[in-house]
Chains A and B, each alone.
Chain A
């Protein structure tokens, strides 16, 4: 069920005959219910966005989602609410996320290519170990990794957040790409071998160009998870100039002592905004990625 061919329309199939027979009343009921649940689900998010545009005294005065008085004041207060502007933190987050995307794409596609296309001794053994690391909680390696990076002088730099990704540490993406590469017809490799192509050329000229959907999926997920990550930056980044947006936001909670909700909600909205935009642009890729590998959020 989970290893269906990636590009097939597992999630986009047409209307199900099962529902064709239900009565109009029943359908209307289902619609009403789904709409109500959607509204409840979205209400906190909508409230966050709308409150960020309200003046402070209006936030708690009404439950209405439409600001009576529209203002960007909260954004101005929030942006400069810490000793370092949120702009720097957004740039830090962006830099880290982009580097992680690059690292994951290169290293995981290489590993997935080796696992699916190349013959070498010990392949099955290494593949089983790779799958094993998928299940292993990171906590088991957390402290020695930290001590190692401390020894390297990497603590309080972005190195611990970025460098491991160039070594295919996110086995999930290897798994995702393995699933996809398996669906690429082998005849294409064989034809290339006839033309005298070696593994590298096949990888660059045959496999990668045919894999843009999975590479895009991996890129978007990498970006979002890195952007959202809190634990690793919390451990490794100490100085406020080096903070990511997530760390900044969490520091801001302390700094405002919850007295400036408008500014807090404005910055919350801003940190979610990039994810929301990616979601709108790549919704289909994300949903198919989840449906085919069945993992992660």
Chain B
């Protein structure tokens, strides 16, 4: 790309030298940050994961013991995995579907597009905050808004959705799905890039609207769907605040909202098992890496790239 072509013109040597020095000069803050805050800690957290480091005394080398214990002797790890995977596998498709459906509806040249777009985007912007998690607790509480509405409309006395173990996780899935707005905006931008003459040609050939959607819109949008799916999945694995606030940091009721990151937090900062928590962190990194790699490998079977 543009990396080499500028030097072909042959600016004077002094300019090139200044550029070399200037390059590292301008990169210096990032470079320092990378080495001290990312690379160093990454290496050292891997080392810590092979020790029993905690509040008690120095770190003793234990080899792969932490990892063995995670896999074979830690029921809460498996609970956290189940909760997190349920959350990821439900919230990501829901978000994608809502985002795509609304984007397609908004793309029909409606008046008031900007107003609707703003309304649908707002929850994404505020949804990660503590305030909204607090609100969610209230909406789905026993005497909460949802039950009030249900009682007023259908005379149905609902349970406390938050403190009921069989529904608590799904309230958090709903909270995540509510925040489909930013994906919707990316879909809208993608829809705008589809050449209109394709639709015109298809209409002339007599293709119905739904056929146009499945034969033109959807295939041409697969790169955007893929992109959104990868980003949303990574984000969903890292979800934390909503579960923490809704469950008072416990992951309850009875660990049904024990997100992986919440378990990691508890091990590191309430139990101070830094070695074990480091191992948990690396397991999460590997899971996310595997998920991302699988997505990229699957892409060639369903993502449509035109060259």
Contact = CB atoms under 8 A, between A and B. Distances in A.
A297 B182 contact: yes
Interface in B98-128: 102, 105-110, 116-128
Interface stretch (A69-77, A80-88, A127-135, A211-219): A127-135
A8 to B, nearest CB: 10
Given A4-B189, A19-B108, A27-B110, A203 B26 contact: yes
A290 B179 CA distance: 14
A174 B30 contact: yes
Interface stretch (B64-72, B73-81, B86-94, B273-281): B273-281
Contacts of A193: 11, 15
A186 B6 contact: yes
A119 interface: yes
Contact of A144 (B22, B27, B41): B41
Nearest to A145: B41
A111 B131 contact: no
Contact of B106 (A20, A34, A199): A34
B23 A119 contact: yes
A224 B24 CA distance: 31
A200 B128 CA distance: 38
B106 A141 contact: no
B285 A137 contact: yes
A144 B178 CA distance: 35
B281 A143 contact: yes
A110 interface: yes
Interface string A155-181: 000000000101111000010000000
B71 to A, nearest CB: 18
A140 B27 contact: no
Nearest to B228: A294
A145 B33 CA distance: 12
Contacts of B119: 38, 41-42
Interface residues of B, number: 111
Contact of B245 (A14, A15, A253): A253
- Max count, chain A CB within 10 A of own CB: residue among B33, B241, B265: B33
Contacts of B207: none
Contact of B223 (A1, A20, A126, A279): A1
Contacts of A123: 3, 23
Q: Chain B at the A interface: mostly helix, strand, loop or mixed?
A: helix
B41 A120 contact: no
Contacts of A235: 269
A270 to B, nearest CB: 8
B237 interface: yes
A107 B30 contact: yes
B139 A120 contact: no
B30 A41 contact: no
B19 A287 contact: no
B161 interface: no
A297 B179 contact: yes
A137 B284 contact: yes
Contacts of B138: 48, 261, 264-265
- Max count, chain A CB within 10 A of own CB: residue among B9, B125, B131, B261: B131
A239 interface: no
Contact of B178 (A34, A41, A258, A265): A41
Contacts of B16: 119
Given A11-B188, A198-B18, A30 B105 contact: yes
Nearest to A194: B11
A92 interface: no
Contacts of B25: 114, 199
Contact of A228 (B44, B129, B196, B274): B129
A1 B27 contact: no
A25 interface: no
A147 interface: yes
B285 A139 contact: yes
Given A48-B135, A199-B23, 12 more contacts: A10-B189, A16-B192, A41-B122, A107-B33, A120-B24, A143-B41, A182-B2, A250-B134, A265-B135, A279-B118, A294-B186, A296-B182
